[in-house]
Amino acid sequence: METNVAPEMVATDEKSAAEQLRKKTFHRNKWFYSISGIGRDMSYSLIDSFLLIYIQFGVSLTLAQFTTLSLIIGVGGRLWDAINDPLMGAIIEGSHFKKGKFRPWILLGGILCGLVIIVMFNVQSIPGWRFVVFMTVMYLLWESTFTMNDIGYWAMLPSLSSVKEERNSITTLTVLFAGVGAILAQGIIPQVTVGDMRAGYRFVSILIAAVFIGCQILLFFTVKEPPRRKVENSENISLKKMWKTIARNDQVLWMTLSMLFYNIGSTMLIALAANLLYMEVGYNGTLYFYVVVAYGVTMVAVNALYPALVNRLGRKRLQNWSILLAVVGYALIALLGWLPVLPFSIAPLCAFIIMVSAGQSLFYMSCIINMANCVEYNDYKHGERNEAVVSTLRPFMAKFAAAMHTLIVTLVLTISGTFLLSQSISTLETQRDFFDKHSPADQVYYIQQVQDYLKEYEGLKAGTPEYKAAAELVGKEIAADDVISKFQLDPEYVPALSDAMVIVKTEAGEEKELERLGSFDANSISASSGTFSIKIDDLKSGEESAANLHFRDQRTLTMRIWVRLAATLLPALMLLIALYIQKKKFIIDEDYYDQMMHDINNRKEEESSLA
Residue 231 has pLDDT above 60, yes or no: no
pLDDT in tens, 549-573: 999 999 999 999 999 999 999 999 9
Across 34-48, 104-118, 151-165, least confident range: 151-165
CA-nearest of 167, 115, 171 to 144 is: 115
Per residue in 73-107, is it b (16+ CB within 10 Å) or e — as a string?
Answer: bbebbbebbeebbbebbbebbbbeeeebbbbbbbb
Per mean pLDDT, which of 167-176, 249-258, 316-325 is the most reliable? 316-325
Residues 546 and 570 both lie in one domain: no
Query: Are 370 and 447 in the same domain?
Result: no
Average pLDDT along the chain: 86
How far apart are the C-alpha atoms of 593 and 370, rounded to whole Å? 10
Domain finish residue from 554, 573, 600? 554
Boundary (domain end) residue, out of 538, 554, 570 = 554
Cα separations in angstroms, 225 against 26, 228, 393: 9, 9, 22
Domain shared by 120 and 269, yes or no = yes
pLDDT at 270 over 70: yes
Average pLDDT rounded to a whole number, residues 530-548: 89
Return d(Cα 44, Cα 189) in angstroms, integer.
Answer: 13
**pLDDT (average), residues 125-141:** 92
Mean pLDDT on 360-378: 86
Q: Per the domain annotation, does 99 fall within a domain?
A: yes
Q: CA-CA distance, 486 to 178, in Å (whole number)?
A: 42
In this structure, are 346 and 412 located in the same domain? yes
Asked whether residue 205 is assigned to any structural domain, the reply reads yes
The pTM of the full predicted model, rounded to 2 decimals, is: 0.82
Residues 372 and 390 in one domain: yes
pLDDT at position 233, please?
A: 47
70 contacts 402 by C-beta, under 8 angstroms: no
Distance CA 603, CA 37 (A): 34
The mean pLDDT value for 53-77 works out to 87
Alpha helices in 456-550 (DSSP H): 465-479, 546-550
Q: What is the mean pLDDT of residues 5-13?
A: 60
- Structure confidence at residue 139 as a pLDDT band (50, 70, 90): very high
pLDDT tens digit string along 34-47?
999 999 999 999 99
Segments forming the whole domain that contains residue 198: 34-417+556-610
Distance linking the first and last C-alpha atoms of the chain: 35
> Does 27 reside within a domain?
no
Can you tell me the distance from the alpha carbon of 103 to that of 194, in angstroms, rounded to the nearest whole number?
37
Q: Is there a domain that residue 255 lies in? A: yes
Q: What are phi and psi of 513, to 5 degrees?
A: -75, 125
Taking Cα atoms as reference points, which of 264, 267, 278 lies closest to residue 57? 278
Q: Please check whether residues 232 and 340 belong to one and the same domain.
A: yes
The secondary structure element, H or E, covering residue 315 is helix 315-335
pLDDT of residue 160: 83
**Has residue 1 been placed in a domain?**
no
pLDDT band at 77 (very low <50, low <70, confident <90, very high): confident
Distance CA 346, CA 486 (A): 40
Strand ranges of the sheet holding 531-535, from the earlier edge strand across to the other edge = 511-516, 501-505, 531-535
Measured between alpha carbons, how far is 383 from 249 in angstroms, rounded to an integer?
A: 12
Based on its alpha-carbon atoms, the radius of gyration of the chain, rounded to whole angstroms, reads 28
Q: How far apart are CA 367 and CA 365, in angstroms?
A: 5
Looking at the fold, whether 441 and 527 belong to one and the same domain comes out as yes
* Residue 4 in domain: no
pLDDT of residue 351: 95
Residue-wise pLDDT for 301-328, tens only, equals: 888 888 888 888 888 889 999 999 999 9
State the pLDDT at residue 117.
97
- Which pLDDT value is given to residue 100? 75
Q: How many domains are contained in the chain?
A: 2
- Which of 224, 194, 192 lies closest to 208 in space, CA to CA? 192
User: Do residues 441 and 581 share a domain?
Assistant: no
Residue 217 shares a structural domain with residue 359: yes
pLDDT score at 75: 72
Q: Confirm whether 42 is domain-assigned.
A: yes
In a domain, 8, yes or no: no
Most confident region among 83-97, 226-240, 531-545 by mean pLDDT: 531-545
Q: Give me the CATH number covering residue 130.
A: 1.20.1250.20
- pLDDT for 523: 82
Instruction: Choose one of 533, 554, 575: the last residue of a domain.
Output: 554
pLDDT tens digits, 419-434:
999 999 999 999 999 9
How far apart are the C-alpha atoms of 536 and 422, rounded to whole Å? 13
Residue 262: pLDDT band by 50, 70, 90 thresholds?
very high
In this prediction, residues 474-499 reach a mean pLDDT of: 92
In terms of domains, do 146 and 259 share one? Answer: yes
On whether both 455 and 308 belong to a single domain, the answer is: no
Residue 509 or 522, more confident: 522
Same-domain status, 600 and 490: no
- Whole-number Å distance between alpha carbons of 237 and 95: 9
